[in-house]
Amino acid sequence: MPFFPTLIPKPVSNDTEYETIAKSFREAMKGFGTDEKRIIKEISSVTNAQRQIVKEKYLTMYGRTLEEDLKSELSGDFEDIIVALLKPRYEYEAECIRDAIKGFGTREYVIIELLCTKESAEIEILKQAYKKLFDRDLEEDIKGEEDGPLGRLFRSIATGDRPSGYSVDFILAQKEAQELFDAGEGKLGTDETEFVRILASRSFAQLKATFEEYKKISGKDIEVSIKSETSGDLEDALIAIVQSIRDRSAYFARQINRCVKLPGTKEKDLIRIIVSRCEVDMGEIKKDYKDLFGKSLYEELKKELRGDFEDIVLKLVGTD
């Protein structure tokens, strides 16, 4: 799978250079007013790993945390994205999941995006971050919030037991393709349990082969069958798995399009995607966005966003 980040490491060779960046952040917040342009320049010129070093230098130099100082100076969506950029990626994603499941009502689409698109190695890192931050088990928290087929899907993925690697059992692929057909298109009603069992327990490589066999058996693409046989959040979760297996960056391109095209731009969702993908595959996401929607992602965001928030998002996404 190709990885084309839009934010790449800045050459920083020694502690003095990190201290210079920390000092620049401090100077941007001193005196009357805040130099937002300077903050954007500094935070977008270093990677997440480098920001962690800058945060340590800032604390040593000034006896205060960079995050708290920035939170006291900034506001709104601009504050949210700057603070998000300061957090280690998986800790930030763990916070997003925690926010999605606590309080009144669960925002399942956030969990779908952050769980169903990941392979087992990523899930394990996410679980460790969740435990570190909240001293709670991710599986148990999900278990307490979700039941039914969707809850079983989430819990199965959250165990991190999905096999990894590229080996494929083609006999198993044929067998489970038939089982998927028999659970949906081949019967009256739908056995959602079978869809959950197979899509949550097999490696991405194995599932890709299963989907190819499914089309031979049913004459339909697996996405078409999922959309006709399931609905709501379960449908969205299963589709997220399928699309991530086929082209994860295209999945996120569709999610960004949803953010900017639904009535009222969904800034919090946009922040989550931009922050989590800019060092992974944002370059590929931009390409897929153009292929899927015939428009430049950079220009679409420029049209929808305003002010300092627009400036930092465009800096992270990068020009075409």
pLDDT digits 0-9 by tens, 170-210: 999 999 999 999 999 888 888 999 999 999 999 999 999 99
CATH numeric code, 170-230: 1.10.220.10
Average pLDDT of the residues in 33-53: 96
Query: What residue spans of 30-137 are helical by DSSP H?
Result: 36-43, 48-62, 66-73, 76-86, 89-101, 108-115, 120-134
CATH no. for 15-86: 1.10.220.10
Q: What average pLDDT does the segment 254-279 reach?
A: 92
Task: Name the residue with higher pLDDT: 9 or 148.
Answer: 148
Query: In whole angstroms, how large is the CA radius of gyration of the chain?
Result: 21
Quickly state the pLDDT bin for 143 (edges 50, 70, 90). confident
User: Residue 312 has which token pair?
Assistant: 């930092």
Assess contact for 34 and 75: CB atoms under 8 A: no
pLDDT of residue 40: 98
pLDDT of 146 higher than 90? no
* DSSP three-state, residue 259: helix
> According to the model, what pLDDT value does residue 5 have?
87
Q: Is the dihedral of CA 190, 194, 197, 202 positive or negative?
A: negative
pLDDT digits (tens, 9 = 90+) for 70-127: 999 999 999 999 999 999 999 999 999 999 998 677 899 999 999 999 999 999 999 9
- What pLDDT was estimated at residue 291? 98
Residue 3: its pLDDT value, please? Answer: 64
Which phi-psi region, left, alpha or beta, contains residue 187 (left: φ > 0; alpha: ψ -120 to 50)? beta
Domain boundaries, the chain: 15-86, 90-158, 170-230
Mean pLDDT across the chain: 94
Say how far apart CA 76 and CA 273 lie, in whole Å: 17
Binned at pLDDT 50, 70 and 90, residue 31 comes out as confident
Is domain 90-158 given the CATH code 1.10.220.10 in the classification?
Answer: yes
Specify the pLDDT at position 79: 98
Task: Say which residue, 53 or 32, is predicted with more confidence.
Answer: 53
Residue 2 has pLDDT above 70, yes or no: no
Contact 38, 24 (CB under 8 A): yes
What mean pLDDT is predicted for residues 250-274?
Answer: 92
